[in-house]
Structure 1
């Protein structure tokens, strides 16, 4: 029986960590730290739940079923499961996350030097996705190219930034914004959505499992064990990165008090602390972080859609990289503006699916419980999405006053109530009828 040796297992953990840490993971915590003020660690707790806890739990849930999202969504039926998987893959793939990696890395790293004009962005994204394409064409080498080369470089760069945040603080913590004064925990919780890590975990599950299998490991038990270890390594790394970036943002009020996004906070801190050399360092860090994530997303999407469509993996890699190139040139503001309500809508049913996957063996029929709770989570997630899109005035009065609606969690109470009702129904119906020959 083939087993992973220590260096391979560590490389797998580094690869998993590197796949998760993209531009969003680096730019969102500093702005949370800046805006949360004295409540930074309460907001950080909410953020860590959705940006670390849920992704790690998702990796574990997927590892238990072999890595494929199709298996995880089996209780809701093949058609609904396929639709959900396709939406998740497209959201964290060519529609939002993959193009965002190029746009953010350009605007944070190179735009201050080249200007934010369309031509420099196009030339940068062209080279960027050419590299993504070249690496993604050989998914069997991910453990070597990402786990042994790119991931360690990424970790070293993040470690330097993290140590600097604690050893070289800039000043005192400023006042919290009104939103964080009112509800710091829920604000952090919702901002954790924007990292897309839970959706990314649903996508990366198959990449992690395939990386394990590429080393000759075939035992389902060992694959599950190694994937769980990799997820835990990645989770610890993510938590350390976020905590250091929260600290960086919280202490940057004196130099970036008027910043509206984490990129501005980061740039101000690095420029103040390290000078022009720091700006170059930041550009390299963001580009490397984004590149690794883009490779993982492209590989995962191509792997999934090659099984769904009559197209080869290599053809899909080419199409996905080309489409992501086009979308990235729409600009960061447009991408974020469109992605926020979409993520607000699709996160709740995905959270429900992952959370309930650990309880299947407790019920007579998992489908009786999982399907209705996910449907309710989706419907009320859509209500939250309408609110996030700025159209709250068009909602019925009843939907405006749902419990936790002001915190963007209007889906939670209806989902819990539906879960209770579904559990009672499942217990009353008993075991599903089985056909006998």
Structure 2
């Protein structure tokens, strides 16, 4: 297989890895609430859900290791804790969310059953697949992803060229910031950290003695292909949500809106078919998340099969408990942890992408610390009354937009870099 073909193969594989069907419910409602400002929320959403994940893949191309490499310059202990937090978050939030999306899109429209029953059956089946490591879902995923993509393209193309009623106005004060923060809910930056390492292993196993530079180029190009696909789908769904925002009730849920758009553009059969396919794709995503988490803890405990089984049980029990809730509730309870962990993800990704001379251990440590420190108010706003935080947040620029960490992190990077530059000059003299 020549390099070009290999690049496209890995690009499509990366796209399938990022293409968590649960993410599809986010862009339409974002567009729905933004109306004429849909292009501004798209810009923000693309930054956090496409550009940052792409940079994570660039970081993997540079490091060619695992996720744990991203935080090693801060300290190995920090990196381990960071990775543990990432895996706890993906098991507690996006994994159960796939069950909730499946219930709302593929089960509730046809059967009057409880979401708890769906969650129990869903994660019981997931447990069997993870324990047996059956490749049936991998094969199924190869066909599911292209079919869903084709249906989405059909929905977007038909929807864009249909005559619709005038759009309602925007509900957002800062559309771009709202889009940026909603992009956190895709978990795509986290997916970039987690799946990038898996791609490195796949490339090493299939390309033989390819040089470090060639692998770096292949990973970067594959990343472009994957993110280009996500960019088109995310942008198209946000635009559709905006174009049709006057044709649905203002309190419509995310899952209902995606189903409604599919029905309006492709008819009842198209809407039902998409719902079932999304449910199946969510299941493959859940199995992949549980399996990768179980593999991580298995390696952490010296390839212990018991650790693998225990982790799988914990993941599935957590999934059953949280997966019975509505998608909107799971998205809401995810906000505190995302406000705390996502800024750290972003700065670690950016620091690992830039040149080594600008990213010393001291820079890593101070920028990570300041980012964490200034992310705390965004986290604490969900557990403390706003008036108690006001004396602090009033002095932090962009704190009201939940981006109070950005300028302090950037300032710290510049100050520490200048300090190291001056110190190196003094050493020469």
Whether TM-score is above 0.5 comes out as yes
Does the CA contact (< 8 Å) of 2:35 and 2:242 recur in 1? yes
Residue 18 of structure 2 corresponds to which residue in structure 1? 20
Residue 228 of structure 2 corresponds to which residue in structure 1? 236
CA–CA distance in 2 between the matches of 1:46 and 1:168?
26
Of residues 342-351 and 329-338 in structure 1, the stretch that sits farther from structure 2 once superposed is 329-338
Residue 418 of structure 1 corresponds to which residue in structure 2? 412
Residue 19 of structure 1 deviates from its aligned partner by: 1.4
Residue 395 of structure 1 corresponds to which residue in structure 2? 389
SS at match of 1:113: coil
Residue 191 of structure 1 corresponds to which residue in structure 2? 182
Residue 260 of structure 1 deviates from its aligned partner by: 4.6
CA–CA distance in 1 between the matches of 2:107 and 2:20?
16
Correspondence 1:274-293 to 2 at 5 A: 274-293=266-285
Alignment coverage as a number of residue pairs: 423
Residue 403 of structure 1 deviates from its aligned partner by: 0.9
1:127–1:319 distance in 2 versus 1, CA, 3 Å: closer
1:330–1:202 distance in 2 versus 1, CA, 3 Å: same
Q: Which runs of 5+ in 2 are unaligned?
A: none
Residue 346 of structure 1 corresponds to which residue in structure 2? 341
1:132–1:187 distance in 2 versus 1, CA, 3 Å: farther
Residue 202 of structure 1 corresponds to which residue in structure 2? 193
CA–CA distance in 2 between the matches of 1:173 and 1:336?
26
CA–CA distance in 2 between the matches of 1:126 and 1:138?
15
1:321–1:83 distance in 2 versus 1, CA, 3 Å: closer
Does the CA contact (< 8 Å) of 1:51 and 1:195 recur in 2? yes
Residue 213 of structure 1 corresponds to which residue in structure 2? 204
Given the two structures, how large is their TM-score scaled by the length of structure 2? 0.89
1:200–1:58 distance in 2 versus 1, CA, 3 Å: same
SS at match of 1:255: coil
Task: From 46, 54, 62, give the equivalent of 1:48.
Answer: 46
CA–CA distance in 2 between the matches of 1:273 and 1:149?
23
Task: From 122, 140, 165, give the equivalent of 1:125.
Answer: 122
Residues 249-284 of structure 1, C-alpha deviations (whole Å, 9 max, x = no match): 012223224135422221222233334313312212
Residue 270 of structure 1 corresponds to which residue in structure 2? 262
1:382 maps to 2:373: no
Of residues 32-41 and 144-153 in structure 1, the stretch that sits farther from structure 2 once superposed is 144-153
Given the two structures, how large is their TM-score scaled by the length of structure 1? 0.87
Of residues 110-119 and 224-233 in structure 1, the stretch that sits farther from structure 2 once superposed is 110-119
1:39–1:340 distance in 2 versus 1, CA, 3 Å: same
Residue 146 of structure 1 deviates from its aligned partner by: 6.7
1:59 maps to 2:57: yes
CA–CA distance in 2 between the matches of 1:201 and 1:296?
14
Residue 332 of structure 2 corresponds to which residue in structure 1? 337
Does the CA contact (< 8 Å) of 2:34 and 2:41 recur in 1? yes
SS at match of 2:43: helix
1:67–1:119 distance in 2 versus 1, CA, 3 Å: same
Residues 122-141 of structure 1, C-alpha deviations (whole Å, 9 max, x = no match): 35424652575278x268x9
Residue 427 of structure 1 corresponds to which residue in structure 2? 421
Does the CA contact (< 8 Å) of 1:193 and 1:343 recur in 2? yes
Residues 321-361 of structure 1, C-alpha deviations (whole Å, 9 max, x = no match): 52453244341344223211100111111111111112342
Task: From 342, 346, 350, give the equivalent of 1:355.
Answer: 350
